[in-house]
């Protein structure tokens, strides 16, 4: 079910699912009942309260939504980052080539967590910077970030115009393994976060190269896997 699982501060768990957990998105034409069943199994594996895992409607924005405790019925914020000011809400970000980034830090009253969806557009518009600002506004210090599997700099071919748009992002420029222009989003995200004094761990795995990870560029239409941060019961 998990591609990778690790430990964060204050008892946080961090994980990224793989295809064995199935598609976790409701917007890709899958059977909604089956998606909800998979989400329920994932919550059991995480050891969190049923229907407590918080998702968002991701729109490639730079918007951060605050979440508290259990969601109200049908509550799904339209945003590309979620912030749990007290760390109590299990958070999920769904991807299939974009960067899933999860965060943890310590505030004056305990833990703070966040999850962000950083595609090319979101990274350019500052979604990760906004997420870090929101964490610090909530009092978080010693922020740690985990960048999950995404399309790598040797596979993410782009036209010259897109490469030029990312010229201000250190580490973004790359070449594919076949010699064409490319973007290295994980490297750009890492450099952006390090410049904000955030500790960063990149979890290995290229979505284009790994059949155990969903990839929209490789297999569209396809499902979505999730980046997760939570505190077990």
CA distance 217 to 66: 31
CA distance 152 to 132: 23
**Which segments of the chain are extended strands (E)?**
2-7, 13-17, 64-66, 81-84, 91-95, 99-107, 110-118, 141-147, 173-175, 181-183, 199-202, 225-230
CA distance 227 to 211: 17
Domain ranges in the chain? 2-230
Per-residue model confidence as pLDDT tens digits over 170-206: 999 999 999 999 999 999 999 999 999 999 999 999 9
**Given this structure, which CATH class describes domain 2-230?**
alpha beta
Show the tokens assigned to 194: 């390090």
How many residues does this entry show for the chain?
Answer: 233
Residue 231 pLDDT: 95
CA distance 92 to 81: 9
Of the candidates 159, 161, 108, the one whose C-alpha atom is nearest the C-alpha of residue 136 is: 108
Per-residue model confidence as pLDDT tens digits over 19-64: 999 999 999 999 999 999 999 999 999 999 999 999 999 999 999 9
Of the candidates 199, 191, 85, the one whose C-alpha atom is nearest the C-alpha of residue 142 is: 199
β-pair type (64-66, 81-84): parallel
CA distance 9 to 30: 35
Contact 138, 83 (CB under 8 A): yes
CA distance 179 to 157: 9
Per-residue model confidence as pLDDT tens digits over 80-138: 999 999 999 999 999 999 999 999 999 888 899 999 999 999 999 999 999 999 999 99
Sign of CA dihedral 219, 221, 222, 226: positive
Q: Is the pLDDT of residue 230 over 80?
A: yes
Q: Is the pLDDT of residue 74 over 80?
A: no
């Amino acid at each position: 079910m998990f591609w990778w699982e690790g430990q964060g501060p204050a008892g946080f768990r961090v994980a990224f699912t793989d295809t064995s957990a199935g598609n976790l998105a409701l917007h890709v034409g899958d059977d909604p009942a089956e998606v909800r069943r998979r989400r329920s199994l994932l919550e059991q594996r995480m050891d969190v309260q049923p229907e407590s895992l918080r998702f968002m409607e991701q729109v490639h924005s730079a918007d951060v939504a605050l979440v508290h405790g259990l969601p109200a019925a049908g509550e799904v914020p339209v945003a590309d980052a979620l912030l749990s000011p007290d760390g109590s809400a299990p958070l999920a970000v769904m991807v299939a080539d974009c960067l899933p980034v999860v965060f943890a830090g310590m505030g004056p009253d305990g833990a703070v967590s966040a999850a962000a969806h950083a595609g090319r557009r979101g990274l350019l518009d500052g979604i990760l910077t906004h997420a870090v600002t929101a964490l610090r506004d909530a009092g978080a210090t010693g922020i740690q970030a985990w960048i999950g599997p995404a399309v790598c700099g040797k596979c993410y071919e782009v036209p010259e115009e897109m490469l030029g748009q990312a010229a201000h992002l250190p580490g973004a420029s790359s070449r594919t393994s076949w010699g064409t222009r490319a973007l290295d989003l994980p490297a750009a995200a890492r450099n952006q976060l390090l410049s904000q004094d955030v500790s960063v761990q990149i979890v290995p795995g290229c979505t284009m190269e790994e059949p155990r990870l969903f990839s929209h560029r490789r297999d569209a239409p396809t499902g979505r896997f999730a980046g997760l941060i939570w505190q077990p019961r």
